[in-house]
Amino acid sequence: MNEKERGREVKTDFVKLAPSILAADFARLGEQVAEAEQAGADRIHIDVMDGHFVPNLSMGAPIVQSLRRVTCLPLEIHLMISDPDFFLEEFVEAGSDLFLVHWEGNGNLHRTVQRIKALGKRAGVVINPATPAAVLEEILQDLEQVLVMTVNPGLGHQHFLPTTLQKIRRVRHMIEQIKPGSDLEVDGGIDS
Ligand code: ZN
């Protein structure tokens, strides 16, 4: 690992903030990511949507490539797309550090997770609001991260769903039992 890569190591021992670029002014994206870094963000969250898996289109690997030049922070890629396996290499080449892939709609999640690890990157699995925590049981030991959606994926600026709080508690308990040290992340409608 060279010095530049070491700077991008994902820290694991405290509460972390991963601002989503979906909330940025895209005309000033580089500037705003630099501002987030200076303000103490721990990593940058990039929401990738294909207009099929979720009813919205966002950005692809070229954005990651551009952001890689303006920040030393780890770039975490939340893939809300139908065939994540097809795009992993492209995103790795662009400079991604961590992939978050959905449990929903993935016929072979274990294979996707192993592909991410074979590319030398951290792997996380995402579950939607209506998906029970129990689906994580068999895959959790292979993960560095779990992401519990606190809104339905696909659109920014939604309200936090309080019904997800119980599930967050259950997932934390499962992580402690099965893979202590994995990160638990929440995404959607999070404010102060
Ligand atoms: Zn996200």
CA of 155 to the centre of ligand 1 (A): 10
> Active site includes 85?
no
- Is residue 146 a contact partner of residue 136, using CB atoms and an 8 Å limit? yes
Helix residue ranges per DSSP H, 47-128: 61-68, 84-94, 109-118
| Residue 146 pLDDT | 98
- Predicted confidence at residue 156, as pLDDT, reads 74
Q: What is the pLDDT of residue 155?
A: 80
Residue 156: inside a domain, yes or no? yes
Whether the CB-CB separation of 101 and 109 falls below 8 Å is answered with yes
Q: Which residue among the candidates 13, 42, 47, 85 is catalytic per the annotation?
A: 47
The residue type of 7 is G
- Classify residue 31: in a domain, yes or no: no
CB atoms within 10 A of CB 73: 22
User: How far does the centroid of ligand 1 lie from the alpha carbon of residue 24, in Å?
Assistant: 13
What does the pLDDT read at residue 14? 77
CATH number (domain holding residue 152): 3.20.20.70
Distance of alpha carbon 24 from alpha carbon 11, whole angstroms: 24
Residue 163: inside a domain, yes or no? Answer: yes
Q: How far is the CA of 96 from the centre of ligand 1 (A)?
A: 14
Q: Is residue 99 part of a domain?
A: yes
Q: Active site includes 187?
A: yes
**Structural domain includes residue 192:** no
**Which helix or strand (DSSP H or E) is residue 37 part of?**
helix 29-38
In a domain, 123, yes or no: yes
Check residue 192 and give its pLDDT.
Answer: 80
Give the tens place of pLDDT for each residue, 109-160: 999 999 999 999 999 999 999 999 999 999 999 999 999 999 999 887 889 9
pTM of the predicted model as reported, rounded to 2 decimal places: 0.91
What 3-state class would DSSP assign to 168?
helix
pLDDT at 15: 87
Distance (Å) from CA 35 to ligand 1 centroid: 19
Residues of the chain with pLDDT under 70: 1-13
Residue 1 lies in a domain: no
Q: Kindly state the helix (H) or strand (E) to which residue 102 belongs, with its residue range.
A: strand 98-102
Q: Into how many domains does the chain fold?
A: 1
Which residues on adjacent β-strands are paired with residue 45?
Answer: 20, 76
- How many Å separate Cα 23 from the centre of its chain? 15
Residue 147 domain flag: yes
Q: Give the residue numbers spanning the domain of 91.
A: 42-187
